[in-house]
Amino acid sequence: MDQFDLLAAGSLAGHLVECGAQATGGIFTDWHQVKDWDQIGFPVVSVGSDGHFTVSKPQNTGGVVNKGTVTEQLLYEIGDPAHYFLPDVVCDFTQVEIDQLPGDLVYVSGARGNPPTGEHKVSATYASGYRSTAVIIIGGPNATEKAEKTANAIVTRCRRIFHQLNMEDFTAVRIEVLGGDRRPLQERNNDLQAGPREVVMWLAVNHNDKKALEFFVREIAPAGTGMAPGICGGVGGRPKISPVLKLFSFLHPKDSFKIEIDVDGTVEQFSPPSVPTAEYLTQAYPASDSNGNGTNKLCNDIELPTGPFSYRLEELAFTRSGDKGNDCNIGVVARHPAYLPFIRKQLTAEAMESYFQTNFKYGKASIQRFEREIASDYFFHS
């Protein structure tokens, strides 16, 4: 239990395969290069006694195993790559090397481990009211405007009922219009001002009282005869009411847990081996200033060349997003070290907050940026 480098290596091997095809081309940035999704192979790790291992997949299966797929999965849900907290080890993945071998095979080495903390990560859930979602297809000219007006009218009808019955208001209302135009490209180009001919109205509401959402459910159908023309019916029929379970994540001292093992009806107390513990302070790199200047040693503050071209992030980097507990994170791997200064200048904490601001309308986002070097590759983690 005190062989922390081996514990970190084993944890990394498990981390790479825990989500199945995510390491073999699933949700890969270069998804268009991945063949045979219909029979994609799951990853296989072959681990040596020194903690080094290979990642492959069964022969004659779809998907792909390469440096990009494995590096993306390395960054999945880990937060600070220098301090990935697990119950028995704190992993340091900043020295990991991922080498491409012939075929669908990569070699992984360099995981390091440090003593664990004295706490467990705990995720609990609690009841927080009820939720219902109505999904309606609306067609015809000005479909977007019709969907928005329909959704707002339904919400207004419900609020009028709540007021008459002295009930509280919705705790949350979310209106989205999902639009798509399946006509041939030439027809769309000749009729850009008309907008999509068919959209999906997505109306989700929350309330503390289940009875209130029963009124909401009954107020959806009247829209078909009393509101916008072109309503083609609801997806899935009448909306359902579901309890809302929210996540609460926290740290709890390990010594306050009692561990019992039940084997065939025999219950035994288990005391884990005693190992040293440590406290860690994870430090994200500060957000860049308005000129894109930061303090990271990997990129000197230089005047970057400019030109008439612009690039999507996926053209310059591999990316992978995920969540751990109550944190969401995004890993970004520069496809070449020369791209790193440009990515670093644009991908600031402020830029991320601005891009995702509509996701944070019910609370303030706290965004940290970690910047690390892995062998000859570079990556961000936000």
Rg of the chain over CA atoms, in angstroms? Answer: 26
Q: pLDDT at position 192, please?
A: 54
Q: How far apart are CA 316 and CA 291, in angstroms?
A: 21
DSSP assigned state of 209: -
The DSSP 8-state label assigned to residue 338 in this structure reads G
332 inside domain: no
pLDDT at 48: 96
Convert the pLDDT of each residue in 128-183 to its tens digit.
999 999 999 998 888 888 999 999 999 999 999 999 999 999 999 999 998 855 55
Residue reference for tokens 């390395």: 74
> Which stretches of the chain drop beneath a pLDDT of 50?
285-300, 376
Do residues 201 and 218 make contact, with C-beta atoms less than 8 angstroms apart?
Answer: no
pLDDT attached to residue 368? 85
Residue 156 DSSP symbol: H
Residue 145 identity (one-letter amino acid): E
Q: In this predicted model, what pLDDT tens digit does every residue of 53-69 receive, in sequence order?
A: 999 999 999 999 999 99
The pLDDT of residue 291 is 41
The verdict on 86 and 131 lying in the same domain is: no
Listed residues 246, 281, 298: the one ending a domain: 246
- For residue 109, what are the contacts with CB-CB under 8 A and spacing of at least 6? 51, 52, 53, 96, 97, 99
**Quick one: 83 and 10 in the same domain?**
yes
Strand 119-139 versus strand 44-47 pairing type = unpaired
* 60 close to 40: Cβ distance less than 8 angstroms: no
In terms of residues, how long is the chain? 382
**C-alpha span between 92 and 85 (Å, rounded):** 9
pLDDT value of position 283: 54
* pLDDT for residue 286: 45
**Does the residue 102 lie in any domain?**
yes
Residue 309's pLDDT is 87
Number of folded domains in the chain?
Answer: 2
Residues 80 and 112 in one domain: yes
Q: Determine the Cα–Cα distance for residues 249 and 125; give it in Å rounded to an integer.
A: 9
pLDDT digits (tens, 9 = 90+) for 5-43: 999 999 999 999 999 999 999 999 999 999 999 999 999
